[in-house]
Amino acid sequence: MFHDEWDFIYKRYAKPLYLYALSLTGNGYDAEDLLHNTFVKAYLSYKQSGNIKYWLITVLKNEFLNLQRKKKREILDNGEIILDHHSSNVDVLNNIVKAEERQALFDAILELPVPMKEVLMESVYFHMKDKEIARLHQLSEENVRKIRSRAKQKLMKKMKEGSL
């Protein structure tokens, strides 16, 4: 792909990929790192076969898993585990999600179990169809619909409880 095409791809997918990365990591610093690494690896390895959106999501998810493995291995000389010194970067989230209600909803989405969070994020932020999500996660379309429905039910319950 040419430079102009990657510029277009970055402009089109950077924000939803960042939000997805933020939902996985819980902090802006790691989300920015994931986004950067995703685009670098995709640029270097994408072979123009298949859908670039799926490729980017897959690369981001794999980068997140690599980050998690790396964090588990970070141990100080005296055997203590290094804690993640990056706190949640609420300012970054506030810049992206302006409305207070949307921020509360996004925070609630972050608390969902990973399968629910992934299906919901891919549906809402990436505007993926059930068939696309099913193929990406090797699920049936019906299972995708059930997962999304249960995620919405959990979010509605939180809203009714007043936690949103």
pLDDT digits (tens, 9 = 90+) for 81-105: 444 444 344 544 444 444 466 666 7
The single-letter code of the amino acid at 41 is K
Average pLDDT over residues 151-162: 82
What is the DSSP secondary-structure string of 34-60? HHHHHHHHHHHH--S-S-HHHHHHHHH
Band the pLDDT of 128: cuts 50, 70, 90.
confident
pLDDT digit string, tens, across residues 31-59? 898 998 888 888 777 777 678 888 888 88
Q: pTM value? A: 0.53
CATH domain 1-96 topology: Rna Polymerase Sigma Factor; Chain: A (1.10.1740)
Three-state SS annotation for 107-122: HHHHCCCHHHHHHHHH
Q: Taking the chain, what is the end-to-end CA distance rounded to the nearest angstrom?
A: 44
Beta-carbon-side half-sphere exposure of residue 77 (alpha carbons within 13 Å): 0
Average pLDDT over residues 106-135: 85
Please give the CATH number for the structural domain made up of 99-164: 1.10.10.10
Sign of torsion over alpha carbons 64, 66, 72, 73 = negative
Delimit the domains of the chain by residue range: 1-96, 99-164
CA distances from 13 to 44, 54, 142 (A): 17, 11, 27
Lowest mean pLDDT among 40-44, 77-81, 133-137, 140-144: 77-81
